[in-house]
């Protein structure tokens, strides 16, 4: 297990992110990838994707099913797909291991391999790959005081300029947020909505952070980051989760993700 030096801590405070190469061994990465393959092999298209009719009320029910599927996923292992990969009966149109955007959000609680890696995580979202537009995690995971969350982004394979590595605006973690994602009022057409709008960022502000397999990137809750679409032939699997500083911090009731009686947020320190 690697250690973090004072210089690295200083660098994290300056930049809002920190790259730690070779934090996990190749065997730890392979163990996570093998477990993921096992989970995906047993995966089926979720019920809300299986609508055989296309009348308007059915579409609304499907949208509602999709919202519920997302909002109640905090204490379950559920699958989230790229667009257009399932037909109206929930059958896969492409090999199912290539259909996923992410699996979330409670692998850390129920899967032994991921539990081992994230035994202290609050929120986790294993990602398969794909484009993520510029954002701050505090937009989606709101705390009071703001930004008291830390993202862990583990490269299970090399993440390169070609296959969608992370990009950051160094030092952007000090300017607050201008956009929040909150739960929509019941009866609304979407399950969440945005309050405010994202700042406009120039591409030239971002720097890429390629990282090799087993590397870890620590992400400040307010730093602006993104990843480009993976247009290459190589996959870019990552495992990512967040921890929150619980002391003197409140978790917004308006966040999409809420702890449940069955699965409260586990504590890192007792």
Q: Where does this chain bind Fe ion (CB under 5 A)?
A: 137
Residue with tokens 């200083």: 10
CB 265 within 8 A of CB 249: no
Residue placing its CB nearer to Fe ion in the complex, 86 or 219: 219
Residue placing its CB nearer to Fe ion in the complex, 111 or 222: 222
Beta strands in 125-249 (DSSP E): 132-135, 143-144, 149-155, 166-168, 179-183, 192-196, 207-209, 216-220, 225-227, 238-244
CB of 40 to Fe ion, least distance (A): 23
Torsion of CA 37, 231, 16, 139, to 10 degrees: -80
Residue placing its CB nearer to Fe ion in the complex, 92 or 194: 194
Would you give the end-to-end CA distance of the chain in angstroms? Answer: 22
Nearest partner of 215 among 28, 16, 15, 9, judged by Cα = 28
CB of 197 to Fe ion, least distance (A): 17
Residue placing its CB nearer to Fe ion in the complex, 82 or 97: 82
CB of 135 to Fe ion, least distance (A): 6
Comparing every residue's Cβ against Fe ion, the nearest one is 137
Element housing 113 (H / E): helix 112-117
Element housing 20 (H / E): strand 17-20
Residue placing its CB nearer to Fe ion in the complex, 88 or 131: 131
CB of 151 to Fe ion, least distance (A): 6
* Three-state DSSP state, 253: coil
Residue placing its CB nearer to Fe ion in the complex, 62 or 121: 121
CB of 153 to Fe ion, least distance (A): 8
CB of 139 to Fe ion, least distance (A): 9
């Amino acid at each position: 297990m690697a250690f973090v030096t004072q210089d690295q801590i200083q660098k994290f405070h300056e930049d809002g992110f920190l790259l730690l190469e070779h934090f996990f061994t190749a065997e730890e990465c392979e163990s996570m990838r093998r477990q993921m393959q096992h989970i995906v092999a047993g995966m089926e298209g979720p019920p809300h994707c299986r609508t055989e009719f296309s009348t308007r009320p059915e579409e609304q029910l499907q949208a509602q099913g999709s919202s519920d599927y997302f909002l109640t996923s905090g204490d379950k292992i559920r699958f989230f797909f790229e667009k257009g990969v399932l037909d109206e009966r929930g059958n896969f149109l492409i090999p199912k291991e290539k259909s996923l955007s992410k699996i979330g959000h409670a692998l850390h609680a129920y899967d032994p391999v991921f539990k081992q890696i994230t035994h202290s995580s609050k929120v986790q979202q294993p990602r398969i790959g794909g484009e993520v537009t510029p954002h701050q995690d505090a937009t989606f995971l709101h705390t009071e005081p703001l930004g008291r969350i830390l993202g862990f982004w583990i490269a299970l394979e090399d993440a390169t300029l070609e296959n969608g590595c992370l990009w950051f605006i160094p030092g952007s973690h000090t300017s607050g947020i201008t956009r929040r994602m909150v739960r929509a009022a019941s009866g609304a057409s979407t399950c969440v909505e945005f309050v405010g709008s994202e700042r406009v960022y120039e591409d030239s502000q971002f720097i890429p952070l390629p990282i090799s397999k087993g590397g870890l990137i620590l992400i400040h809750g307010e730093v602006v980051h993104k990843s480009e679409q993976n247009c290459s032939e190589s996959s870019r699997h990552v495992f990512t989760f967040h921890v929150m500083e619980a002391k003197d911090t409140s978790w917004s009731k308006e966040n999409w993700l809420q702890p449940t009686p069955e699965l409260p947020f586990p504590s890192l320190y007792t």
